[in-house]
Chains A and B, each alone.
Chain A
Amino acid sequence: MSDVLTQRCDVLVIGGGMAAAWAAIAAAKAGASVVLVDKGYVGTSGVTATAGPNHWWIPPDPARRREAIEQKFAAGLGLGDPAWMERVIDTTWRTLPDLAPYYPFGSDGNGGTYYSGVRGSEYMRGLRAYATAAGARILDHHPALQLLTDDDGAVVGARGHARLTGADWEIRAGAVVMATGGCAFRSGLIGSHGNTGDGYLMAAEAGAELSGMEFSIQYTVSPAWASTRTLPYGAARYYDAEGAEIVAPPRGHAHYQALGAALLKGPVYADLIDAPAELPPILKDIQPFTPLPFVRKGVDLFRDRWPIKLFGEGTIRGNGGLRIVDDDCGTNVAGLYAAGDAATRELATGAISGGGAVNSAWALTSGQIAGAAAARRGLALRDRPAGMVHAVGSAGIAPASDERTVDRKAIEADVDYHMNGYQHSLWRSRTQLSESLALLDAHWRSIGDHGRSEGLALVALRETAALTATARWCTAAALARNESRGIHVRVDAPALDPAGGVRLLTGGLDRVWTRPEGRAYAEAAE
């Protein structure tokens, strides 16, 4: 680590999507000095930039909000939190219009403004401009590799690599917001290539716990050659290679099982002849990225039949992430806050997917809350003298045994197969999950025992380590939740367990552990 660029700030935000930007904005507006480091570029990074996120949008009418929360709480099968839902709805309603100087909100058709749905590329460009105007300093192409802790174990910064200049960096901060997004295990889901679970790994290395990692099965249909994020495919009819229609339940796990079973046998085709007639002429105006892969392939989206693929969403449309332990979006590690898909979304949606709307509202809200809380801590610690710091985490950095080449491609292919492969995720069972976990554990050991790199190669190796670690937490949690609940479905335990309405925590590195929230380790072990 020669030639290390060092800086100091009140709040360090790690990540570059909407949650990170909203966190940087809140922290800067609270008077903190803010540095945001992102692996990519704030504006194009993450799954929002190519999407069209809607936000959970309920006017401040007490009866309507109560009804929305009651519905969402019931749908969440006991794992949601009505107080958090109220905060998410209210914060989103109050805050999203603040973006108006930086984003051209359209008309609501009634002389007012339509706020809730936004086009992702313009939204992220607007958030970058807003964060910059608020005073946050954005460092693009600055992947973080390790968190820094003080002698008490509190998080006090991060260390990483600036990939365009080749220099390493170290930034000390009074508080760190982790907003690195979810993880789709490199399924090819558009926007998710950089979403490799880096934040989960760095936080876990500092001692953070995760929650809801079993809620990691979600897929989206797209043309086989490219994933799109705006999804007009809800109206689709599906066919096998012989042209026979595949009758799939319209939504839910059974929908994906029907398509997944057909895809395991051979190609599956879709058409959109049942789509509303008003959609084809305006889709390009709304989201140019969706028809584009069809136009360039010479396929008519609304008239032709085209092959499909189910793209895994992992914890992006799934729910799992860093456990939130207080009203500040704090994790169980002092100085470390979590926002967006890097955090568990169970508080807002329970055991079901937050889809686009709740997840976006959660990203905005948790970003705002985590940013403001991190600013309070950062400002309070501003004058504390610099002490000893420790860079935590050793996978890919300090091998436990002899240094050897780690076959990253082979490990990532296994992670993809076991996490996104239809035969695994759509038919979870104890037997399959145990086999997956044994293999993933072996890969983790090989990285930890032998992996060592520097610079760009280290960034890539840490991604492989994070993908593997995230897959282990998801698989261990899926094994421990011996029932089916929401988007976690076990074919060998298809019923809801009346005692299962408790969040499930996981964590650990060389040994992955799980335990129900609210119970001590010893109790859980009995």
Chain B
Amino acid sequence: MIAHIFEDLCDGCNRCAAVCPTHVLDPGDRVPVIARLDQCQTCYMCELYCGADAIYVGPDSRQPESVDSQVIRASGHLGRVRRDHGWDRPDEAGHLDRYRLLGPLLQEGGESAARRYRALTAGELDVAD
């Protein structure tokens, strides 16, 4: 769930309140307000759309997490989702060139699991292997 908005980094644009699909945030005068945390689905969209890298979403979708803002600030997590997406340079050539590799690799993983299951159930393989 959304865990922290860094007030010193936030430029008060309230973009996160506009893009949150589940209405977790209310626009604020200086910084947005986390008004309905129970509606947060941990989708990271506020972080992705935050151009000021001022939002940190905790990884646990089951309950609120309290985080040490100094640790988060030093962790390098802030803004990383946006940079990993190449969110601000969508037209850069080659940005999604590896995307085509995903489907075949997922299929390969599934096929290896299927082969292992056949071997296990046929007694050719032991779970210890």
Check if A117 is an interface residue, CB within 8 A of chain B. Answer: yes
Bound Cα distance A140, B44 (Å): 18
> Within the complex, which residue of B42, B49, B90, B92 is in contact with A226, where a contact is CB–CB below 8 Å?
B42
Query: By the criterion CB–CB under 8 Å, are A106 and B117 in contact?
Result: no
Does A193 sit at the interface, judged by CB under 8 A?
yes
Q: In the complex, which of the residues B49, B81, B97, B109 contacts A234, with contact meaning CB atoms closer than 8 Å?
A: B109
- Contact status of A230 and B102, CB under 8 A, knowing A247-B120, A274-B112, A296-B58: yes
Give the contacting residue for B21; candidates A41, A225, A245, A249; CB below 8 A: A41
Contact mask for chain A residues 431-460; partner B; CB cutoff 8 A; 1 contact, 0 none:
000000000000000000000000000000
Residue in A closest to B110 when the chains form the complex, CB atoms: A234
In the assembled complex, which residues on chain B have CB atoms less than 8 Å from the CB atom of A54? 103
Answer whether residue B43 sits at the interface, using C-beta atoms and an 8 A cutoff.
yes
Question: Chain A: which residue is nearest B45 at the CB level?
Answer: A44
Q: Digitize B90-120: 1 where CB-to-A-CB distance is under 8 Å, 0 elsewhere.
A: 1110111111111101111110111011001
User: How far does the alpha carbon of A287 sit from the alpha carbon of B96 in the complex, in Å?
Assistant: 10
Among listed A107-115, A481-489, A506-514, interface-contacting one: A107-115
A297 touches B59 (CB 8 A): yes
From B39, B44, B90, B121, name the one whose CB has the most chain A CB atoms within 10 angstroms.
B44
Q: Does B52 contact A (CB under 8 A)?
A: no
**A interface, over-half SS:** loop
Residue of B nearest to A52 (CB): B102
Other-chain contact of B127, A227, A244, A284 (Cβ < 8 Å)? A244
Contacts of A117 in B (CB 8 A): 99-100, 102-103
Interchain CB contact under 8 A, B100 and A193: no
Question: What separation, in Å, do the CA atoms of A54 and B39 have in the docked complex?
Answer: 28
List, in ascending order, chain B residues with CB within 8 A of A289's CB. Answer: 44, 81
**A52→B100 CA distance, assembly (Å):** 11
Q: Digitize B23-50: 1 where CB-to-A-CB distance is under 8 Å, 0 elsewhere.
A: 1000100000000000101111100110
Q: How large is the interface on A (under 10, 10 to 19, 20 to 34, 35 or more residues)?
A: 35 or more
User: When chains A and B are docked, how far (Å) is the Cα of A107 from the Cα of B21?
Assistant: 31
Say which one of A118-126, A330-338, A363-371, A493-501 lies at the interface with B. Answer: A118-126
Q: Do residues A274 and B95 form an inter-chain contact, with CB atoms below 8 A?
A: no
Report A476 CB to chain B, min CB distance, Å.
Answer: 28
> Are A231 and B60 closer than 8 Å at their CB atoms?
no
> Which of chain B's residues 37-86 have a Cβ closer than 8 Å to chain A?
39, 41-45, 48-49, 58-62, 77, 81, 84-85
A227 CA / B60 CA spacing, docked (Å): 10
A104 CB within 8 Å of chain B: yes
Chain B residue with minimal CB distance to A50?
A: B43
Bound Cα distance from A293 to B61, whole angstroms:
9
Residue in A closest to B63 when the chains form the complex, CB atoms: A225
Let me know if A231 and B23 touch, CB within 8 A. no
Contact status A106-B95, CB under 8 Å: yes
The answer, among A121, A272, A282, for a CB contact under 8 Å with B85, is A121
Q: How far is the CA of A41 from the CA of B22 in the complex (A)?
A: 9
Partner of A44, one of B21, B27, B87, B121: B21
Tell me, in angstroms, the Cα distance from A54 to B106 when the chains sit together: 12
Residue of B45, B95, B112, B116 most packed against chain A (CB within 10 A): B45
1/0 per residue, CB under 8 A from B, across A273-289: the answer is 01110110010111111
* Chain A residues within an 8 Å CB radius of B77: 296
Chain B residues with CB below 8 A from A282, complex form? 98, 101
Contact B100–A107 (Cβ < 8 Å): yes
Question: With an 8 A cutoff between CB atoms, is B18 at the interface?
Answer: yes
Can you pick out 7 interface pairs between chain A and chain B where the beta carbons lie within 8 Å of each other? Answer: A43-B19, A141-B18, A194-B22, A225-B60, A234-B113, A292-B59, A294-B59
- Which residues of A pack against B, CB within 8 Å? 16, 39-41, 43-46, 49-50, 52, 54, 103-109, 114, 117-119, 121-122, 125, 140-141, 163-164, 188, 190-194, 225-227, 230-232, 234-237, 244-245, 247-251, 272, 274-276, 278-279, 282, 284-289, 292-297
Cβ-closest 3 pairs across A and B: A235-B109, A40-B21, A234-B110
